[in-house]
């Protein structure tokens, strides 16, 4: 077998497994070394991640007449439908409600698609994984970054709403990257945590899709915390246990210039959950990823 060089590959043994395939056995990463090892691999493989992100975005709009314009058009159409249902039919008089809807839809799409894509990242790239080893944590990371890029591009549609409502950017705009960071950390952490078990049990992918669909209705996407305060205020403490409540409210506050009606403890909880999910997810992934090749 010809010599093969794989950059940044913590491989202990490479053996021939057939005419065109390679079986790569990588050492088990220690618990305390897993996290720094994973971050180092991401930093060392920036070029690979960039290529994977470009591939994911290109494939998403391949064979589409309007191409990348769907990045803006899709959330706009969805928001129009929800606006019709909740404003025209249900009768919501708040003039900023259309802006709140579209910000909620865009933010939730990032969470939902990023989570589902990252959970399925190993199964979806099984051919690459079977051929040769490189750090597998890049798959979930690239999926989430792809959705982050699409989300940022989608937010262009918010500008006409702000102009129509006479809303000028304020210092609250700094909450925008904070909200995106919280969602990114949550999606990455949970995605890494579930991607390996999903290889062994495909039910996890189905359960994840159900949770993201159900979560759309129990999270403040089509409604706001301020609306909930007027009806079932005693349920608010339970509502804030949902770690996506804070990012959704921060995103709205960033663009409409208001102060988010969020207690301090809820912010601490959301930040803590986001960081903890990232640490636990990546650590678990690095400890268990060596078992996926045999199951793919």
pLDDT digits (tens, 9 = 90+) for 142-201: 999 999 999 998 898 888 889 888 999 899 999 999 999 999 999 999 999 999 999 999
- Tens of pLDDT, residue by residue over 3-23, are 333 444 444 333 333 434 434
Angle among Cα 182, 187, 193 to the nearest 5 degrees reads 130
CA distance 78 to 181: 24
CA distance 142 to 283: 18
Predicted confidence at residue 90, as pLDDT, reads: 56
Closest CA to 112 of 198, 247, 208: 208
Predicted confidence at residue 174, as pLDDT, reads: 94
State yes or no: pLDDT of 119 exceeds 90: yes
Cα dihedral across residues 145, 140, 133, 38: positive or negative? positive
């Amino acid at each position: 077998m010809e010599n093969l060089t794989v950059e940044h590959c913590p491989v202990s043994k490479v053996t021939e497994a057939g005419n065109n395939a390679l079986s790569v056995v990588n050492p088990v990463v220690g618990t305390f070394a897993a996290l720094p090892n994973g971050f180092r691999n991401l930093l060392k493989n920036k070029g690979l991640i960039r290529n994977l992100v470009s591939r994911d975005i290109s494939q998403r709009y391949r064979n589409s007449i309007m191409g990348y314009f769907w990045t803006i058009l899709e959330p706009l159409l969805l928001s129009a439908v929800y606006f019709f249902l909740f404003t025209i039919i249900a009768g919501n008089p708040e003039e900023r409600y259309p802006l709140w809807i579209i910000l909620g839809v865009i933010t939730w799409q990032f969470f939902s698609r990023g989570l589902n894509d990252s959970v399925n990242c190993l199964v979806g790239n099984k051919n690459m994984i079977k051929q040769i080893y490189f750090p597998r944590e890049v798959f979930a990371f690239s999926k989430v970054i792809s959705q982050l890029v699409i989300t940022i591009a989608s937010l262009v549609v918010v500008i006409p709403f702000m102009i129509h409502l006479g809303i000028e950017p304020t210092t609250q705009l700094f909450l925008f990257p904070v909200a995106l960071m919280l969602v990114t950390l949550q999606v990455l952490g949970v995605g890494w945590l579930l991607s390996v078990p999903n290889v062994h049990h495909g039910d996890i992918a189905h359960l994840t899709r159900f949770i993201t669909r159900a979560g759309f209705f129990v999270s403040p996407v089509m409604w706001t915390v301020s609306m909930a305060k007027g009806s079932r205020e005693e349920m608010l403490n339970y509502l804030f246990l949902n770690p996506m409540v804070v990012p959704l409210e921060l995103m709205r506050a960033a663009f409409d210039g208001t102060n988010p009606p969020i207690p301090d403890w809820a912010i601490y909880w959301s930040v803590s959950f986001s960081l903890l999910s990232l640490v636990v997810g990546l650590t678990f992934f690095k400890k268990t990823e060596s078992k996926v090749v045999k199951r793919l």
